Amino acid sequence: MFALAALTLLAVMGLALIRAFLGPTLYDRILAVNIFGTKTVLLIAVMDFLGGRPDFLDIAIVYALINFISIIGVLRFFEYAEKKTAEQAE
């Protein structure tokens, strides 16, 4: 049962990657990468039960934190980058 959930999560991550490659806008890609990250957290949590390794949950917590911070960081980076190019265009 855990194996099935893990396989589905891998399929979801694959579909998210397709969207990340297709785009078309920058924000579609960020959204797809965000989905990829949150599903990674779930996959690590499922792997914990699949392999019987109780320390995987700590990794999942850390991954959730890093994923959130990286998405916010990337968004802010592009926000500032676009503001700067707009100012230069003026």
Partner 1 sequence: MELMFDILSWIFLLGGSFFCLTGAVGLLRFPEFFSRIHAASLTDTLGASLILIGLMLQAGWKLALPKLILILVFSLLAGTTASHAMAKAALKSGLRPLDQEEGRRKRERQED
Q: Give me 3's structure tokens.
A: 């194996």
Residue with tokens 């920058």: 26
Alpha helices (runs of H) in 1-90, residue ranges in sequence order: 2-22, 26-51, 56-89
Contacting residue, 21, 52, 54, 88, with partner 1 by CB under 8 A = 54
Closer to partner 1 by Cβ: residue 51 or 78: 78
**Site mask for partner 1 (CB under 8 A), range 18-47, x = bound:** xx--x--xxxx-xxx-xx--xx-xx--xx-
Evaluate whether 73 touches 50 at the Cβ level (below 8 Å): no
User: Is residue 23 within 8 Å of residue 32, measured between CB atoms?
Assistant: no
75 binds partner 1 (CB under 8 A): yes
Tokens 């917590």 found at: 61
Distance CA 17, CA 45 (A): 20
Give the binding-site size for partner 1 (rule: CB under 8 A). 45
Binding residues (CB under 8 A) for partner 1: these are: 1-2, 4-5, 8-9, 11-12, 15-16, 18-19, 22, 25-28, 30-32, 34-35, 38-39, 41-42, 45-46, 48-49, 54, 57-58, 60-61, 64-65, 67-68, 71-72, 75, 78-79, 82
